[in-house]
Structure 1
Amino acid sequence: MQLKKATVLVIDDDPDVLTAVRLLLRPKVKEIVVDKNPENLPSLLRQHTFDVILLDMNFASSINTGNEGIFWLKEIKRLKAGAAVIMITAYGDIDLAIRSLKEGAYDFVVKPWRNEKLLTTLQEAVSGKEKSLTTVAAGTTPSTLGLELLGESEAMQDIFYKIRKVAPTDANILILGENGTGKELIAKALHQHSLRATEPFIKVDVGALTESLFESELFGHKKGAFTDARDERVGRFEAADKGTIFLDEIGNISLQQQAKLLSVLQNRQVTRVGANEPTPVNVRLLCATNVSLHELASDARFRKDLIYRINTVEIVVPPLRERGNDVLLLARHYVQVYADKYLKPPLELTSKAMEKLKNYPFPGNVRELQYAMERAVIMADDYALDARDIIFSPIETAPQAAAAPSATNLEELEKATIIKVLEKHNGVMTKAAKELGITRTALYRRLGKYEL
Structure 2
Amino acid sequence: MPTKEGNILIVDDNKDLLLALKLYLKPHFSVIKTEHNPNRIKEHLQKDNYDIVMLDMNFTSGINNGNEGLFWMREVHKYDSELAVVFITGYSDVELAVKAIKEGAADFIEKSWDERKILSTLLSVFKLQKSKKAISGLKKKQKHLKECIDAGQDVFIGNSPEIKAVMGMVNKVAPTDVNVLILGENGTGKEVMARAIHRLSKRSDEMFVSVDLGSLHENLFESELFGHKKGAFTDAKTDRTGRFELANGGTLFLDEIGNLSLSAQAKLLSVLQNREITPVGGTKPIKVDIRLICATNMPLNKMVEEGSFREDLLYRINTIAIELPALRNRKDDISGLAQFFLEQLANKYNKKDMKFCANALTALKTQNWKGNIRELQHNIEKAVILADGPIITTEDLFLNNEDSNMIDDNCFNIMDHERLLIQKALTNCKGNMSKAAQKLGINRSTLYDKIKKYDL
TM-score using structure 1 length: 0.54
Letter in 1 for 2:265: Q
Aligned to 2:357: 350
Larger radius of gyration: 2
Does residue 170 of structure 2 align to residue 166 of structure 1?
no
Q: Which of 264, 271, 274 does residue 271 from structure 2 map onto?
A: 264
How far apart, in 1, do the equivalents of 2:251 and 2:192 lie?
Answer: 14
Q: CA deviation at 1:155?
A: 1.0
Aligned to 2:191: 184
Alignment of 1:14-93 (within 5 A): none
Flag the 1:219–1:342 CA change in 2: closer, same or farther, 3 A. Answer: closer
Aligned to 1:446: none
Q: CA deviation at 1:327?
A: 0.9
Aligned to 1:316: 323
Q: CA deviation at 1:146?
A: 8.3
Does residue 251 of structure 2 align to residue 244 of structure 1?
yes
Aligned to 1:303: 310
1:310-337 per-position Cα deviation (integer Å, ceiling 9, x unaligned) = 0111111111111122111111222222
CA contact (8 A) 2:203 2:249 kept: yes
1:5-46 per-position Cα deviation (integer Å, ceiling 9, x unaligned) = xxxxxxxxxxxxxxxxxxxxxxxxxxxxxxxxxxxxxxxxxx
Flag the 1:316–1:336 CA change in 2: closer, same or farther, 3 A. Answer: same
Q: CA deviation at 1:147?
A: 6.7
Letter in 1 for 2:196: A
CA contact (8 A) 1:164 1:193 kept: yes
Aligned to 1:341: 348
How far apart, in 1, do the equivalents of 2:252 and 2:152 lie?
Answer: 23
Aligned to 2:219: 212
Larger CA deviation: 277-286 vs 218-227: 218-227
Larger CA deviation: 263-272 vs 207-216: 207-216
Flag the 1:250–1:399 CA change in 2: closer, same or farther, 3 A. Answer: farther
Does residue 235 of structure 2 align to residue 228 of structure 1?
yes
How far apart, in 1, do the equivalents of 2:197 and 2:381 lie?
Answer: 28
DSSP 3-state at the match of 1:258: helix
Does residue 301 of structure 2 align to residue 327 of structure 1?
no
CA contact (8 A) 1:363 1:396 kept: no
How far apart, in 2, do the equivalents of 1:179 and 1:221 lie?
Answer: 32
CA RMSD in angstroms comes to 2.4
How far apart, in 1, do the equivalents of 2:301 and 2:279 lie?
Answer: 31
Flag the 1:394–1:285 CA change in 2: closer, same or farther, 3 A. Answer: farther
Q: CA deviation at 1:207?
A: 2.1
CA contact (8 A) 1:147 1:182 kept: no
CA contact (8 A) 2:154 2:195 kept: no
Q: CA deviation at 1:354?
A: 2.0
Identity across matched positions, percent = 49
DSSP 3-state at the match of 1:344: coil
Alignment of 1:99-138 (within 5 A): none
DSSP 3-state at the match of 1:231: coil
Aligned to 2:29: none
Letter in 2 for 1:350: C
Consecutive unaligned residues of structure 2, counting only runs of 5 or more, are: 1-149, 409-456
Letter in 2 for 1:289: T
Aligned residues: 259
Flag the 1:196–1:345 CA change in 2: closer, same or farther, 3 A. Answer: closer
DSSP 3-state at the match of 2:375: helix
How far apart, in 2, do the equivalents of 1:380 and 1:286 lie?
Answer: 39
Flag the 1:305–1:395 CA change in 2: closer, same or farther, 3 A. Answer: farther
Letter in 2 for 1:178: E
Q: CA deviation at 1:210?
A: 2.1
Q: Which of 182, 203, 206 does residue 210 from structure 2 map onto?
A: 203
CA contact (8 A) 1:147 1:370 kept: no
Flag the 1:328–1:400 CA change in 2: closer, same or farther, 3 A. Answer: farther
Flag the 1:383–1:231 CA change in 2: closer, same or farther, 3 A. Answer: closer
How far apart, in 2, do the equivalents of 1:263 and 1:371 lie?
Answer: 39
How far apart, in 2, do the equivalents of 1:230 and 1:220 lie?
Answer: 13
How far apart, in 2, do the equivalents of 1:303 and 1:279 lie?
Answer: 25
How far apart, in 1, do the equivalents of 2:397 and 2:305 lie?
Answer: 42
1:149-177 per-position Cα deviation (integer Å, ceiling 9, x unaligned) = 10011111112112211111100000111
CA contact (8 A) 2:207 2:249 kept: yes
Alignment of 1:350-429 (within 5 A): 350-392=357-399, 397-398=404-405
DSSP 3-state at the match of 1:174: strand
1:394-416 per-position Cα deviation (integer Å, ceiling 9, x unaligned) = 99942799xxxxxxxxxxxxxxx
Q: CA deviation at 1:350?
A: 2.4
CA contact (8 A) 1:268 1:281 kept: yes
Flag the 1:238–1:343 CA change in 2: closer, same or farther, 3 A. Answer: closer
Larger CA deviation: 219-228 vs 380-389: 380-389
Aligned to 2:287: 280
Larger CA deviation: 299-308 vs 343-352: 343-352
CA contact (8 A) 1:364 1:396 kept: no
1:84-132 per-position Cα deviation (integer Å, ceiling 9, x unaligned) = xxxxxxxxxxxxxxxxxxxxxxxxxxxxxxxxxxxxxxxxxxxxxxxxx
How far apart, in 1, do the equivalents of 2:315 and 2:381 lie?
Answer: 41
How far apart, in 2, do the equivalents of 1:165 and 1:290 lie?
Answer: 23
CA contact (8 A) 2:223 2:280 kept: yes
